[in-house]
Each structure stands twice: as structure tokens, then as C-alpha cells.
């Protein structure tokens, strides 16, 4: 499961997506609406990770979609739409970050459908798993914002390298190094006991 | 920092990712659709433009008839006297001024060197918009009422300064003016300029597909247009040619 991010929907999307883009370019508002519907969650969550505030993220994602709409004519045919869009949305979010006073910590959902794993785990095992999650998330929340963002984009939104480069507005080549530096600092933060 | 440790960490991160409590995604498709249905967004400070007024103006332009077009070529800009030769309704559905942004971001986004009027008393623009297309971007600076630049009662805008690259490839900018408009040659810092005064005029461009795209849809006051260093500039809303030139020559 990809946490509802939409990885599972990739199959069969490109053709439809291309049609939507083409129609939206010709001024078909409902086609653009479809594109927004398709990507609103990933766009909003990306913006949220950048600004750390739900209202700002909503406005940033909306700005991003409107900018994308205005720039559709420049979208290169055959290119991937998702990274193109995420770049615009993340930029819009970065522009808003200065006005967002505080950045909310990421939190874990109180109730989850199922725990990971095949067999039904014992209550003790569940509790332990919860604790380990909480501990890991607390460490992530303590990281520098840049490290937290890189880790969240990769592991919580499951963006690929191209999409991360777009969202971070950095060359593709530096995504790996940023991710590995952030991971190293996270491992440091959780200490030896965190992995053993 | 063994690979195994990293792999275990990644497994834990993936697992954690399924449990993150993101705020509920707002209904962006509806929000965006709403915004797209309002073409000249935010040009009117705090007041939605009356669609009827807009349509009346389009009709006015259409009524001008099929007079032969007379052109003033100015970089990527063509001033056309006469009726709109292509379907006008698309002008109403155009993207307007673009997206609100900041001066810094606008500077970073365009392919030309953006300039800002430094006329004393003008201060910073109240709103900055970035539109793209046109290729290379177009930036519009909006000022509310300023000393010597009274606000237009219909739009609440005192002054508008717009810049975009003149060498805009297949896109051809056109300023549509009707026969009640006077066009006066002028000079801005040694460059040829035109002062378009005394009537309603539209400003739009044709994209590579030949579609007419409205860029501003303003029924602006009088307008000074000139090209400098490959960039077309417009100053709209100044109360006189002299005032417009003062704004134009203060750009830096």
C-alpha cells in the first residue's frame, strides 16, 4: 500500500492523462479538473511537507494548479506530468513558507486499518511496533527541515528520484546524496538502540 | 552504516509512511475550477468585475465593424485598429494576469531583466503577477491609488506596469483599439513609444495555434507602450502622457 498516494493507479494512466492534458491545453476546463482531481492529494501533501501548515498547503497547491494551468502550453509533450506539476506546486509552497509561522510536526494516525505483517500480531507486538514508529517519527521531527523534507518525500509520499528533484528544485544527481545524508543523520538520531 | 542497517531503516520508514496522519486533502479540483471560471482574477481589488460590463465591452469592440486593420509594429507587439478578427469569446476565458507572485520570484522566473519604476511616491507595487505563456513570461505590477495616480473607479487600480519579451516567437501580441482612440508617437529614454489614449482597448495575443488569448482584459486607462532591450513595456493608467513618461523613465 502506498498510503493512498496513488502509485497503484499508475497503470493505464498515461494514455488518459495525455488526453486530459491535450484537452486542457485546448481550453477544456473539465479535462483540467480531471488532472487536478488525479493529483490533488499528492500535490497537497507535497505542499504540506514543504510549508508544514494545512491552510498554507491548500493555498499553495491551489496556486500551483493555477500556475500549471497557465503554463500548460509549455508542458513538453511526452514528458511526465507529475514531476512537472510537483515542481510548480513545491515552488508555490516554498514561496508561502515565509508566511507560515510555525511548522506542524508530522504525526501518526491514531487508528489504522491494519498493522503491517502477515500473521495477526499479539497486542504486545503491536504496542512495540507503535512505540518504534513513534520513536522514529519523533526523531524525524527533530531533524533539520531539509532532512525531514527529503525523507518524507521519499518514504512517506514515495516520490521517485525525478519527482523528488522537481519537488526539491535540485538537480536529479543531488537527490541521492541529499537522501543519504539525511538518512545518515536520522540513523544517528535514533542511535544504536533504534535499529537493534 | 551498513547496507543492512540502511535497509532496515528504509523498511521502518515505509511502514511509518503508511501511518502518517496527513491533513485531509481539500477539494482542490472544485476550488481550482472555481478560480478558473473567474478570468480577470484580482485585477479588481476586492470587487468582482461585472460580467455584463465585460460582455458589453466585447460587444463594443465587435461593433467597430470590419474596418481594415492598421498596424503599428513594435517588437512582438502589434497595435491593431479595428475589430477583432478572430473569435472574441476566448478572450473572456483567458488566463488573465497570470498568478500572483512576489517581485523576487517574478525576477527569477522571467527570461529578461525585470525593472520596477522608482518614481518617488510610488513605492513598491501592491500586487505582482506572473503569466506564462507568453514565452519567457510576462510580469504585471499593479499599484493602487498613488499621489498623482488616482484609482480608476471601475477597477480601483491607479497604475499598471507590464513587461514581457518582445521577441516572442509565434505569439503575436495585439492591442485592439477602436476608432475612438488616439495614438500619439512619443519617446521614452530615446526609444520610440506610443501613447494610446481616449478609448477602450483590449490587449491580447495569439498563441502558436492562432488562438486569441487575453492577457489582461483591462479596460485600462491610457497606455504608453514601448520596446527597450528586447522587452515590451506598458504603463497604463497614468493620467497624462507626461506622467506615463515619468514612470517609464524611472524604471530600473
Range in A159-168, A187-196, B5-14, B67-76 the model is least confident about: B67-76
The C-alpha cell 478609448 sits at B199
Under an 8 A CB cutoff, do A71 and B21 touch?
A: no
pLDDT exceeds cutoff 90 at A169? no
Under an 8 A CB cutoff, do B20 and A108 touch?
A: yes
Distances (CA, A) of A122 to A115, A129, A130, A136: 11, 11, 12, 21
Grid cell for residue A22: 491535450
Bridge-based pairing of strands B172-177 and B77-81 is parallel
- What phi and psi, each to the nearest 5 degrees, are found at residue A138? -60, -40
Sign of CA dihedral A192, A194, A195, B1: negative
Residue B135: predicted pLDDT: 67
HSE of B74, CA atoms in CB hemisphere, 13 A: 25
Convert the pLDDT of each residue in B8-30 to its tens digit. 899 999 989 988 889 999 999 88
Q: Please count the structural domains in chain B.
A: 1
Average pLDDT over residues A26-33: 87
* ipTM score for this prediction: 0.81
In a domain, B18, yes or no: no
Three-class SS of B154-183: CCCCCEEEEEEECCCCCCEEEEEECCCCEE
Q: Which residues contact A189 (CB under 8 A, 6 or more apart)?
A: A139, A142, A143
- Candidates B188, B184, B216, B191; CA nearest to B202 is B216
Under an 8 A CB cutoff, do B25 and A45 touch?
A: yes
Instruction: pLDDT band for A176, please (50, 70, 90 cuts).
Output: very high
In a domain, B7, yes or no: no
Helix (H, G, I), strand (E, B) or coil at B57: helix
Give the separation between CA A107 and CA B208, rounded to whole angstroms. Answer: 48
In this structure, which topology does domain A7-97 adopt according to CATH? Rna Polymerase Sigma Factor; Chain: A (1.10.1740)
Instruction: pLDDT band for A44, please (50, 70, 90 cuts).
Output: very high
Residue B137: predicted pLDDT: 78
In a domain, B21, yes or no: no
In a domain, B90, yes or no: yes
Bridge-based pairing of strands B138-143 and B70-74 is unpaired
Under an 8 A CB cutoff, do B1 and A187 touch?
A: yes
Average pLDDT over residues A27-56: 91
Give the separation between CA B226 and CA A31, rounded to whole angstroms. Answer: 38
Mean pLDDT for chain B overall: 68
What distance in Å separates residue B181's CA from the closest CA in chain A?
A: 31
Residue B33: predicted pLDDT: 87
Instruction: pLDDT band for A163, please (50, 70, 90 cuts).
Output: very high
CATH class of A123-195: mainly alpha
In percent, how much of chain A has pLDDT > 70? 80
DSSP string of A129-190, one letter each residue: HHHHHHHHHHHHHHS-HHHHHHHIIIIIS---HHHHHHHHTS-HHHHHHHHHHHHHHHHHHH
Rounded to two decimals, the pTM is 0.51
Convert the pLDDT of each residue in B72-105 to its tens digit. 444 444 454 444 333 332 222 233 567 788 898 8
Grid cell for residue B170: 509565434
Residue B178: predicted pLDDT: 47
In a domain, B160, yes or no: yes
pLDDT exceeds cutoff 50 at B63? no
Instruction: pLDDT band for A87, please (50, 70, 90 cuts).
Output: very high
Under an 8 A CB cutoff, do A184 and B1 touch?
A: yes
Under an 8 A CB cutoff, do B10 and A108 touch?
A: no
Residue A5: predicted pLDDT: 38
Average pLDDT over residues B174-193: 69
DSSP string of B181-210, one letter each residue: -EEEEEEETTEEEEEEESS-EEEEEE-TT-
Give the separation between CA B222 and CA B235, rounded to whole angstroms. Answer: 8
Instruction: pLDDT band for A180, please (50, 70, 90 cuts).
Output: very high
In a domain, B3, yes or no: no
Distances (CA, A) of B83 to A54, B62, B155: 48, 6, 24
Give the separation between CA B141 and CA B160, rounded to whole angstroms. Answer: 6
Q: How many residues appear in chain B?
A: 252
- Candidates B215, B180, B201; CA nearest to B76 is B215
> Any alpha helices (H) in A11-160, and if so which ranges?
13-25, 29-51, 54-71, 81-97, 123-142, 145-151
Residue A168: predicted pLDDT: 93
Convert the pLDDT of each residue in B125-141 to its tens digit. 988 888 776 667 788 88
Give the separation between CA B115 and CA B189, rounded to whole angstroms. Answer: 14
Under an 8 A CB cutoff, do A67 and B31 touch?
A: no
- What phi and psi, each to the nearest 5 degrees, are found at residue B187? -130, 135
Mean pLDDT for chain A overall: 81
Tell me which chain A residue has its CA closest to the CA of residue B5.
Answer: A195
Instruction: Look up the domain containing B229 and give its range.
Output: 28-249
Number of A–B residue contacts, CB under 8 Å: 132
Residue ranges, comma separated, of all CATH 1.10.1740.10 domains in chain A are 7-97
Give the separation between CA A3 and CA B56, rounded to whole angstroms. Answer: 51
Q: What residues of chain B, 8 to 37, have a C-beta less than 8 Å from chain A?
A: 8-10, 12-23, 25-29, 31-33, 35-37
Under an 8 A CB cutoff, do A58 and B100 touch?
A: no
- Indicate the Cα dihedral angle B18, B22, B24, B25, nearest 10°: -90
DSSP string of B33-47, one letter each residue: HHHHT-TTTTTSTTS
Give the separation between CA A5 and CA B25, rounded to whole angstroms. Answer: 11
Sheet with B70-74, side-by-side order of all strands: B70-74, B77-81, B172-177, B201-206, B212-214
Element (DSSP H or E) covering residue B139: strand B138-143
Tell me which chain A residue has its CA closest to the CA of residue B17.
Answer: A156
In a domain, B42, yes or no: yes
Q: How many residues appear in chain A?
A: 196
Most confident of A94-98, A179-183, B228-232: A179-183
Residue B199: predicted pLDDT: 55
Contact A195, A184 (CB under 8 A): no
Q: Comparing B91 with B108, which gets the higher pLDDT?
A: B108
What distance in Å separates residue B146's CA from the closest CA in chain A?
A: 27
Q: Comparing A132 with A161, which gets the higher pLDDT?
A: A161
Convert the pLDDT of each residue in B195-222 to its tens digit. 877 655 555 554 444 454 444 434 456 7
pLDDT exceeds cutoff 90 at B116? yes
In percent, how much of chain B has pLDDT > 70? 56
Tell me which chain A residue has its CA closest to the CA of residue B211.
Answer: A26
In a domain, B6, yes or no: no
Amino acid at each position: 500500500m502506498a498510503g493512498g498516494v496513488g502509485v497503484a493507479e499508475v497503470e493505464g494512466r498515461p494514455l488518459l492523462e495525455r488526453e486530459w492534458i491535450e484537452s486542457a491545453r485546448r481550453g477544456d476546463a473539465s479535462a483540467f479538473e480531471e488532472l487536478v482531481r488525479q493529483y490533488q492529494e499528492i500535490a497537497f501533501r507535497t505542499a504540506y511537507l514543504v510549508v508544514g501548515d494545512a491552510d498554507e498547503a491548500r493555498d499553495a497547491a491551489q496556486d500551483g494548479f493555477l500556475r500549471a494551468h497557465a503554463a500548460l502550453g509549455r508542458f513538453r509533450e511526452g514528458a511526465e506530468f507529475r514531476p512537472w506539476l510537483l515542481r510548480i506546486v513545491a515552488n508555490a509552497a516554498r514561496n508561502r513558507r515565509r508566511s507560515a509561522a510555525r511548522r506542524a510536526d508530522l504525526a501518526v494516525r491514531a487508528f489504522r486499518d491494519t498493522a503491517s505483517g502477515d500473521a495477526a500480531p499479539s497486542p504486545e507486538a503491536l504496542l512495540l511496533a507503535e512505540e518504534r514508529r513513534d520513536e522514529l517519527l519523533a526523531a524525524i521531527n527533530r531533524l533539520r527541515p531539509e532532512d525531514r523534507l527529503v525523507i518524507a518525500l521519499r518514504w512517506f509520499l514515495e516520490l521517485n528520484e525525478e519527482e523528488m528533484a522537481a519537488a526539491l528544485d535540485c538537480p536529479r544527481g543531488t537527490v541521492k546524496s541529499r537522501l543519504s545524508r539525511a538518512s545518515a543523520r536520522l540513523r544517528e538520531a535514533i542511535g544504536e538502540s533504534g535499529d537493534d | 552504516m551498513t547496507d543492512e542497517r540502511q535497509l532496515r531503516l528504509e523498511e521502518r520508514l515505509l511502514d511509518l509512511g503508511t501511518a502518517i496522519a496527513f491533513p485531509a486533502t481539500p477539494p482542490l479540483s472544485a476550488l481550482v475550477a472555481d478560480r478558473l471560471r473567474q478570468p480577470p482574477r484580482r485585477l479588481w481589488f476586492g470587487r468582482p468585475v461585472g460580467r455584463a460590463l465585460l460582455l458589453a465591452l466585447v460587444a463594443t469592440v465587435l461593433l467597430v465593424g470590419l474596418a481594415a486593420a492598421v498596424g503599428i509594429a513594435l517588437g512582438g507587439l502589434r497595435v491593431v485598429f479595428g475589430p477583432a478578427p478572430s473569435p472574441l469569446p476566448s478572450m473572456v476565458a483567458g488566463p488573465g494576469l497570470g498568478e500572483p507572485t512576489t517581485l523576487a520570484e517574478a525576477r527569477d522566473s522571467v527570461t529578461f531583466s525585470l525593472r520596477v519604476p522608482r518614481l518617488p511616491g510610488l513605492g513598491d507595487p501592491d500586487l505582482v503577477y506572473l503569466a506564462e505563456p507568453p514565452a519567457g513570461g510576462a510580469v504585471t505590477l499593479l499599484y493602487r491609488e498613488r499621489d498623482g495616480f488616482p484609482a480608476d473607479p471601475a477597477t480601483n487600480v491607479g497604475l499598471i506596469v507590464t513587461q514581457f519579451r518582445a521577441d516572442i516567437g509565434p505569439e503575436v501580441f495585439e492591442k485592439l483599439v477602436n476608432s475612438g482612440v488616439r495614438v500619439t508617437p512619443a519617446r521614452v529614454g530615446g526609444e520610440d513609444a506610443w501613447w494610446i489614449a481616449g478609448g477602450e482597448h483590449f490587449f491580447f495575443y495569439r498563441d502558436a495555434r492562432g488562438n486569441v488569448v487575453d492577457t489582461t482584459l483591462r479596460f485600462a486607462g491610457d497606455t504608453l507602450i514601448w520596446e527597450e532591450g528586447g522587452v515590451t513595456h506598458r504603463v497604463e493608467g497614468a493620467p497624462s502622457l507626461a506622467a506615463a513618461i515619468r514612470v517609464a523613465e524611472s524604471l530600473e
